[in-house]
């Protein structure tokens, strides 16, 4: 698929008995589609046609940069060309990007979204980055201004918690208490809201990447789509 001059490599797996519904798998930062290959056969067996694309700058795809806004635009393009997808499952940065894209899709009340350890609050991610790479306050301010200028939105807009409050579609959010990449503490406010359309599952000891490989998580996701 061509996206803004970049060739994004994707795959499609067709079931033997198609149920008329499609699922899109969205990987996270420093990852690629093949890491979710175990989900393909069971979803095919359930009748779903499955799609996955390597994000820009990842796997076999072109590019050398990525951010949540850029990634969400690619997801919208994929949905336009190959959807509309009945279900989207997304991990990490892909979770935030998928949520932002999902908010702009048509007919979301008939779709399902699975978020696996998503980047929850961009404000937290940016803050952690700037603590890891100490810079002068003027540089921090300029960095914040750049993010807002590129997206024409405040940084707080890029929030999975914000999105899930406003899209009333069936959603499953799975997050591990020991996630060192996307802090579990960021999820606590949204958990307290007990949104009727959002099922939240907490795991322990799986971390950020081990979570989608765990058998119980795998079975829960397959069942949620089924």
Task: With beta carbons less than 8 A apart as the criterion, state whether 101 and 75 touch.
Answer: yes
pTM of the predicted model as reported, rounded to 2 decimal places: 0.93
What average pLDDT score do residues 52-80 get?
Answer: 96
Residue 115 lies in a domain: yes
Domain of residue 20 covers: 2-121+159-225
- What band does 130 get if pLDDT is binned at 50, 70 and 90? low
User: Count of domains in the chain?
Assistant: 1
Residue 15 lies in a domain: yes
Residue 171 lies in a domain: yes
Task: With beta carbons less than 8 A apart as the criterion, state whether 184 and 126 touch.
Answer: no
pLDDT digits (tens, 9 = 90+) for 149-204: 877 888 889 999 999 998 899 999 999 999 999 999 999 999 999 999 999 999 99
- Rounded-to-integer distance, Cα 49 and Cα 213, Å: 21
Residue 153 lies in a domain: no
């Amino acid at each position: 698929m061509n996206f803004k001059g970049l060739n994004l490599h994707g795959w499609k797996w067709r079931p033997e008995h198609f149920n008329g519904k499609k699922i899109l798998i969205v990987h996270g930062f420093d990852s690629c589609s093949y890491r979710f290959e175990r989900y393909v056969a069971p979803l095919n067996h359930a009748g779903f046609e499955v799609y996955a694309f390597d994000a820009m700058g990842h796997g076999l795809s072109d590019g050398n940069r990525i951010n949540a806004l850029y990634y969400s635009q690619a997801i919208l393009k994929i949905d336009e060309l190959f959807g509309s997808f009945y279900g989207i499952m997304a991990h990490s940065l892909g979770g935030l990007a998928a949520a932002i894209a999902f908010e702009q899709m048509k007919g979301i009340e008939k779709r399902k979204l699975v978020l696996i350890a998503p980047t929850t609050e961009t404000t937290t991610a940016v803050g952690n980055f700037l603590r890891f790479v100490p810079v002068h306050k003027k540089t921090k301010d300029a960095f914040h201004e750049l993010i807002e200028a590129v997206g024409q939105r405040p940084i707080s807009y890029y929030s999975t918690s914000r999105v899930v409050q406003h899209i009333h579609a069936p959603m499953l959010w799975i997050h591990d208490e020991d996630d060192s990449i996307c802090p579990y503490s960021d999820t606590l406010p949204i958990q307290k809201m007990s949104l009727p359309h959002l099922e939240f599952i907490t795991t322990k000891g799986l971390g950020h990447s081990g979570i989608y490989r765990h058998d119980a998580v795998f079975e829960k996701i397959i069942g949620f789509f089924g």
